[in-house]
Structures are given as structure tokens and as C-alpha cells.
Structure 1
Amino acid sequence: MSGPALTSRHIVSFGAAAAVLAAMLAVPAAASADPVEGPAATVVRDDEPCPPPAEFRPGRFEDSTDLDSRYQPLPAGTELTWQVYANDGGQALPRTVVLTATDLVKRIDGVWARVLWQRRLAEGVATESALVFQAQDDDRGVWQVGAYPELLTDGAVTGSPEAWIAGVAGARAGVVVPGDPEEDERPYLRAEAPGIGLLRCGFVVDRSAREVCAPSICYDGVLVVEEFSPLLAPPVRHSYLPGVGMIAAAQVNTDGETQFLTGRRRLSVDDRLAAAEAALGLEQRAYAGSEVYAGTEAMRLLAADEDARAVQRALRDRAQ
């Protein structure tokens, strides 16, 4: 296939941070009294537009599907799981969020993006299943270029009210995680889609925060980015541990909730195949039911390693 080139950057080393995460996962979760403890106080921003931190153009995305950012490494075949906790009281709630980096890629607004499959589950049952499209620029900043979420009730799709694609209906891509984060800079765009009333902005609170705490462990050297919207409150603090990724996403109010990272694993070929099939099924329904999705190019499978090639062979066999 034409599109993203394969380079040595596909090889990712998690180093010491992965060992820290392994230690965290070995400790039984016991919610702290204040699960949002750590980041500094929320900064209130004026209701003003937030521009992209750099021009979004294909020439800045040479290896765009290699999500090997220091702050959000997501090689294909990686699955992350977050447990949801209540801010008020710190008790674990019966909700989890699961994100899978699939072997699929999709060209959006001239840039190849990695296809991520995200699920929200309540008591083990999916309430939302979504395609999330992210691309990495040459400075290793991670951009979100679109999303197609489906709401589910008892396994049945009940709607997709917040689908958006960069370059369609005025939607613009924005930066999820800066490649070289700097404090004291003006807020930047994280995502914009006027058709669905979406406007998310972000700013770096601390590029190396200390004492950012999960229920059973605290971290130093954490990047803290706050996402806010002039259209919707409350803001959300995202904490990224270098070499591991997002360890927490906290709504900054006592009535909100916080997601803490509780699992990170490499998937088997069978699991990667199941994720690819689920993503392809979502895309099929998106073409049938979403006007903003209808004009996009179809996903392709990027066979970047032997496991991905095994997924590719299995998909071909099932299509015959």
C-alpha cells in the first residue's frame, strides 16, 4: 500500500518507566482519600479561541502512524485500561475505559493516522465503542484528526452524535500531547468541530510535576496538560508518565471522576485480529450512517511487524 513509510522508529523501548508501571500494577488498588491530588490548581482561561500550535500539513507528518511519542507511546498491538474512580470519596466505580492501537491506518485531511479502538464499559458491558484517529508530527507531537463514537444499549447501537473528521464541515485537528511541551505558553487547539459544537483547548500546567498520585502510587516527572472548553465545563487534567503514557485523566471538580491507568499489555495475534475486525465493523456502520464520514478514504492495514502480517493474512482468508 502507499502511505506511511516504515522506519526503525517502530521499535519502542519503555525503559525504567515501564518498570515503574509494572510495580504499580502489582499493588492492589486502594483508592486514596483524594485521587486528584498532585497537579497544581486549575487556571481559569478567558473565553477566547485557541489556535493550533503549528500548521497542520502533510509535509510535517513523515512517519505519522508511528505513535512513539515520549508521552504517549502507542505502538500497534498495545492495549491500555483505565479504572474510573469518584473524586468525592475516592471509591472505584464500576466503569473502565479500554484503548487499543490497531494495525489499521486511515488517511484524513492528507495525513495518515493510526486507528485506535476505544471502549467505555459499565460493569463489563460496553456503553460506547469508538474509532479515534491520531497522527504524530515530525516533532513527535500527537494530533487527533477525528473520531467516530457509537453509543450502545444492551449491545445495540443507539446513535453516533459526536462523529467528526478533520477537514470536513469545518472540523480541525488539534494536538493531544505536544512533542516538546513548554509551560507558560498560550492555550492551543486540541480539537474543533463546529457541526457538533466541539471545541477543546489545552495548555501545559507542568512539564515535570512531582507527587502526581494514583490510588496506590505517586509519580514524579509527569507532564500535566489541562483540557478545557469555552463551551463546556469542567476542565480535565491529563497526566502523562514518560515512556508509559496517560496515567490519569481527572475532572477538576469534587463531583467529577478520575481515570487511573491500571493495565498496559501487548496483544496476541488473535486479539489484534479481533480489534481490527471490530474497527472495520465500526467503519462500515460509519459509512452507512454518518455524513461527515461518508467521503473519507477506507482504512488500510499496515503490516509493520510479523504479528500484523498474521492479522493481514487472517483477514484475507476470512474475506475469501
Structure 2
Amino acid sequence: MAVSTVASCAAPNAGQTPATTTVAASPSTSTATPTGTSTTSESPSEAADPSELCGPGSAINFDNGAFPEAPVIDNKWFSLTPGTQYTTTGKVVSAEGTTERTVTHTVTGLTKVIDGVKTQVLWDRDYADGSLVESELAFFAQDNEGTVWLFGEYPEEFENDKFIGAPNTFIHGIDESQAGIAMQADPKVGTPEYVQAHAPSVDFLDCGDVFQVNERVCVPTGCYDDVLVIDEHNPLEPAVGHQRKFYSAGTGLVKVTAVGGADQETLDLSKVEKLTDAKLVEVNKEALKLDQRGYEVSKEVYAKTARAEVATETSGGK
């Protein structure tokens, strides 16, 4: 599952090469520190590769032929099963005060084809002090090696419960936006950072780093002993700080914390629910409305995509 997150000179489709979808090795040396972060050394004679947006070894190696015909996302850290709904709750502490946060992440029964790849549609709704501030469709697919990719987002924004637009929309292959890795097939500490997505038109660049493994975390849904910690940051906005996301095998995201930055956001997994078939049908209808509205709201980006379609109305719930 994914909590909505949060530029470069990449050329259109620069990430699309007939290469493997794993992160490429770099000529530099990467070693793990005692805290689990990775450090990189590079000789002065080695020029920086502009395609390595998150540092040496982070070039995007995307191949749209490396995905199955239908999306099956069963990565143990990032499984997306239609009809599953996750709720995370927490707060944001800033100079202006404290805001209570609730985010629902619903795996819909919809699919959407992006650059020839059929993606799974996730619907996120973000509430601040009880008011909706963002309703977002995000698009994921898992390649044949088990790596989960993020293909784009359509995030509608609200202020005082009124819709104000979706200016941060990005879709892989449009306006130089590139798909990125939401979760590696086999995350390991000490490996290079990787690009989670890159959209220069909206100044979106997220970098992921496998920070720690086998951590213990307790949240309202229980205690987890096998937790994988991913450190995320945008190198273009160092003042924002870093975000740490905690994943448990078989469950997914269980906790989010902040390191540095003005705003300190924390979220804990508070509920996991298998929707009934009737509820999934309702979710599909509402997510389709969001998809359809995107063609009017984002004429230069979203309107260039294929329309989402209902792939399943059965969640396994009663």
C-alpha cells in the first residue's frame, strides 16, 4: 500500500530502455553504515550521470514489456489486493499548530493502461481535522521480477471542503514524467538509492533508500517484528527533511515518521478491512467518477490517458 507522498533534465521517455527493471549497478562503491543507511564514494575523475537522479546507481531502467498482461501485485512488502482498505491515523506538527490526519487507502477493482502496461488503481483520501484535503488515484504495476512501480498520480485538492484543482497530476510518459520504484523485489540495506517517481513538470522527485531491516514496531493494529524501513526524500528540497516508512511482510505499510524538516508528520496503521462485494462495487463507481473528472480537470496530462476500467467487483468479502 502507499501513502500519498510527495526536477531534472530528463528527456521524454528517458527511463524506457530494453533493460532489466532492477536498479543498475554503479561504478562507485556503496557501503552500509552502522545505522543501516548507505554511503557512496566516487572518484574525482568520474563525472556524475544526469540520469542518476537519486545518486550513483539510481538510473531508472524501465521496460514496459516486463509486465504481465493483468496486474498482480503480491510483493510481500507492498501487496495490493482489490477490495482491501487500509486506514492510517496520526498528526502533523508545524509552526502553525497540530493537525489530526486520517488517510484511507483503498485498492479498487479498477485498472488503467499507461504506456501499454495495465496498472492497478489505488484510491487515497486524506483528511485533516476531519475535512477532506486530497482525493487521489495512484497507479501501480508489478513487473515479472516482483518490483512494484508507480506510474503516476491524479491528486484532487480541497480547501475548506471545496475542490480547488489537481495541479500536481503526473503520468508516466507525459511531460517527461517517469515511472519509479514503489517497492523493490528484494530490498537490501547498503544498495544504491532508487527513484520512486520523477515528474519535472510538477517538481516531483522522490528517492528511496533501504534504511533498516528486522525492526520491531507497535501500532494500533498490533506489533510487528519483521519491519523493513525505507527512507524517502526529495534531493531538490533538502529543507523538507526525510520521511521514514515502515513495512511489515504480508501487511504492508504500518507506520510513517518524519526526520528533519519544518513539518513533523506521523501516521500509524489503525485498521485493515476486507470490503464486501457490495462495498467494492460502490468504491469502483466513486473511483470511476474521479477518473472521469480528471479528463476535464487535467486536459494536458490526464486527458491523454486511457480511461480506467472495472476489472473486478469481487473482493472475497461477503
TM-score category (smaller protein): 0.7 to 0.9
Deviation sequence 1:28-86 (CA, Å, 0-9, x none): xxxxxxxxxxx958778899623657632222111652121100122000000001145
- Provide the rounded CA distance (Å) in 1 between the counterparts of 2:242 and 2:315: 41
Counterpart contact for 1:63–1:136, Cα < 8 Å: no
The answer to whether the Cα contact below 8 Å between 2:280 and 2:315 also exists between their aligned partners in 1 is no
Query: Aligned pair 1:240/2:240, yes or no?
Result: no
Q: Does 1:300 align with 2:309?
A: yes
Q: Deviations over 1:166-211 (max 9, x none)?
A: 00010000011111112111111101001001111111112x2323
Q: Distance in 1 between matches of 2:315 and 2:220?
A: 37
| Inter-CA distance 216–300: structure 2 relative to 1 (3 Å threshold) | closer
Any idea what SS the aligned residue of 1:260 has?
A: strand
1:222 aligns with 2:227: yes
Contact 1:67 1:142 in 2 (8 A): yes
Q: Identity of aligned pairs, percent?
A: 34
CA distance in 2 between counterparts of 1:57 and 1:43 reads 27
How many equivalent pairs are there? Answer: 268
C-alpha distance in 1 between matches for 2:37 and 2:186: 22
- Classify the secondary structure of the residue corresponding to 1:59: coil
* Distance in structure 2 (CA, Å) of the matches to 1:181 and 1:199: 20
1:180-199 pair list within 5 angstroms: 180-199=186-205
AA matched with 1:236: Q
Q: Which one-letter code corresponds to 1:124 in the other structure?
A: G
Equivalent-residue separation in structure 1 for 2:92 and 2:39 (angstroms): 23
Please give the alpha-carbon distance, in whole angstroms, between the structure 2 residues aligned to 1:61 and 1:132.
Answer: 17
In 2: Cα distance, 1:76 partner to 1:107 partner:
17
Q: Deviations over 1:3-45 (max 9, x none)?
A: xxxxxxxxxxxxxxxxxxxxxxxxxxxxxxxxxxxx9587788
For 2:99 and 2:198, how far apart are their aligned partners in 1?
30
Indicate if the aligned counterparts of 1:142 and 1:177 stay in contact, CA closer than 8 A.
yes
Does the 8 Å CA contact 1:63/1:137 hold for their aligned counterparts?
no
Aligned equivalent of 2:172, options 143, 166, 171: 166
Contact 1:173–1:190 (Cα < 8 Å) also in 2: yes
Alpha-carbon displacement from aligned partner over 1:138-181 (angstroms, at most 9, x marks no partner):
12211110000011134431111110000001000001111111
Deviations 1:230-271 (A, max 9, x none): 112211111100000000121113850211100100111232
- Paired position in structure 2 for 1:104: 110
Shift of 1:305: 4.1
**For residue 242 of structure 2, what is the amino acid of its counterpart?**
P
Distance in 2 of aligned mates of 1:164 and 1:180: 27
**Which whole-Å CA distance do the structure 2 matches of 1:287 and 1:117 have between them?**
17
Asked if the contact 1:139–1:180 (Cα under 8 Å) also holds between the matched residues in 2, the reply is no
CA contact (8 A) 1:52 1:190 kept: no
Is 1:258 paired with 2:266? yes
Tell me: CA distance 1:63–1:304, structure 2 relative to 1, closer, same or farther (3 Å): farther
The equivalent residue for 1:272 is 280
Match of 2:45 in 1: none
**Preserved contact between residue 92 and residue 266 of structure 2 (Cα < 8 Å):** yes
Q: 1:49 aligns with which of 34, 50, 53?
A: 53
CA separation in 2, counterparts of 1:74 and 1:285?
24
Is residue 70 of structure 2 the alignment partner of residue 61 of structure 1?
no
Distance in 2 separating the partners of 1:45 and 1:213: 32
Q: TM-score, normalised by structure 1?
A: 0.75
CA shift in 2, pair 1:261/1:166, >3 Å: same
Deviation at 1:107, TM superposition (A): 0.6
**Is the CA contact 1:106–1:113 (under 8 Å) kept in the aligned structure 2?**
yes
How much does 1:122 deviate?
Answer: 2.3
The question of whether the paired residues in 1 share the 8 Å contact of 2:215 and 2:228 is answered with no
How many Å separate the matches in 2 of 1:174 and 1:61? 14
User: How many Å apart are 1:124 and its aligned residue?
Assistant: 3.1
- Aligned equivalents of 1:235 and 1:44: distance in 2? 16
Contact between 1:103 and 1:276, CA under 8 Å: does it hold in 2? yes
